[in-house]
Amino acid sequence: MAGRNGRTVRDLRRGNRTAVLQRLYFDGPLSRFELGPATGLSSGSVSNVVADLVADGLVEEAGSVESDGGRPRTLLRVAPHSGQMIGVDVGETRVRVELFDLALTELARAEHPLTPQGYDVDVVVGHIRDGIAEVLRAEQAAPERLLGVGVGVPGIVEHTAERGAVVHGQTIGWDAVPLEELLRAASPLPEGATYFIDNGAKTLGQAEMWFGAGRGARNAVVVLFGSGVGACLVTPEVEHGRAVEWGHLTVRVRGRRCRCGAPGCLEAYAGAESLLARWREEGGRPPADAEEETALTAMLAAAYPPEGGTADPVALAVLEETAEYLGAGLSDLINLFQPERILIGGWAGLQLGTRFLPAVRRHATTYALAYPAHKVTIDLGRLGPDAVTVGAAILPLADFFGRGGHRHEPAPQDRHPAWRTALEERTPR
């Protein structure tokens, strides 16, 4: 029966379960007494919801705490082993697949390298399929508890009722690729589990906002700095985050050709791929046939040798120029969105790390307007190179919370609203 606002009793129960699960997940362990004011539910509602969740195996006791003059209060938490999620990062050099429990503890992983021509759709789908099969064969895997598979990809992700997630990845040669449809055909999941696909910078941003350096911020930009660059914007209006194609901001008219085909994009100057290419063009000598990560390590060693060594002036000049382009690009984000924090993640951003950060901060402040520049902090992300897979795994987890801890296979037209609503309703502080 629906109430005046159109919500049924079932909707209310699901909402109450969601409120208790999320509060226990982010702020637990908590007692029943603490859950009342934390969720806004009456003590009777809390008792009923907790009893249901305990009976479903989703909530368990986690010790006790002394109360003022009364019996000790039992603490509760979300049971880590009551569900599992898979996160997938379709990165520049490899496809990484990780299996997590509900506490986002890694249980298993698989990695499949990508060649420079590795963005062939069939190759990527095959790597994801094989990686999922590998982690589901792991000793701690429980396929019957799998909530879903989250996938972070380069490019713009369009969610359609007919074909699920469709990827527009111009820089990798993907034109309206129906990735969700292809994955469902190539790698069927256990009953009750499904695929959730979104932009990799967005999944990185969600991970940092939920569990990393973004916690507590209302306005933030999380930057993915790898072979290319991207960003995720989080504001009160888009609390679940929105991917922005920041790497294709024009920073130089008639400039270097970007891999998207346009001239003068930020990515043509600030991504690791272009950084190494510019070093080579200026006379530098990156290791022959080395992966980008190895070549960037060599470039850093050349530019910043141990004490007593002689710096390679070409490598140093290219890195300093890259810091200026990156800082100028960040200044545009500062002026446009006035964030409290900018966080830099991705393998190249973390590899350049604290040595690179002071110059980036200095240039960002120089190019930005003084008032928003004074309010922003620029730091590295805290979750390391696995942040995209962690963020991808959050997608099925958010869907699980949005359904109040209930699992079922949604119809195609209902595939995404629950996880989007859960992400919008609760960014942990």
Full pLDDT tens readout for the chain, 429 residues: 455 556 688 888 889 999 999 999 988 899 888 898 888 888 899 899 999 999 999 999 888 777 666 678 889 999 999 999 999 999 878 899 999 999 999 999 999 998 766 789 999 999 999 999 999 999 899 999 999 999 999 989 999 988 899 999 888 889 999 999 999 999 889 888 999 999 998 899 888 988 888 888 888 999 999 888 888 888 766 555 677 788 888 888 888 998 888 999 998 988 888 999 999 999 888 887 778 888 999 999 999 888 878 889 999 999 999 999 999 999 999 999 999 999 999 888 998 888 889 999 999 999 999 999 999 999 999 988 889 999 999 999 999 998 998 875 444 444 444 444 555 555 544
Looking at residue 20, its pLDDT comes to 92
Coil, strand or helix at 2: strand
Contacts of 200 (CB under 8 A, 6+ apart): 89, 90, 91, 152, 153, 154, 224, 230, 388, 392
Tokens of 68: 């003022």
Looking at residue 243, its pLDDT comes to 78
CB-based contact 76:59 (threshold 8 Å):
yes
Looking at residue 360, its pLDDT comes to 94
Sign of the alpha-carbon torsion through 384, 387, 390, 394: positive
Q: Which of 321, 199, 204 is nearest to 270 (CA)?
A: 321
How far is CA 9 from its chain centroid?
34
Contacts of 167 (CB under 8 A, 6+ apart): 153, 155, 156, 157, 158, 174, 176, 177, 179, 197
How far is CA 144 from its chain centroid?
25
Looking at residue 240, its pLDDT comes to 59
d(CA 397, CA 104): 10
Tokens of 248: 């294709």
Looking at residue 71, its pLDDT comes to 75
Apex 396 CA angle, 394 and 401, nearest 5: 90
Q: What is the pTM of this model?
A: 0.85
d(CA 235, CA 231): 13
Looking at residue 228, its pLDDT comes to 86
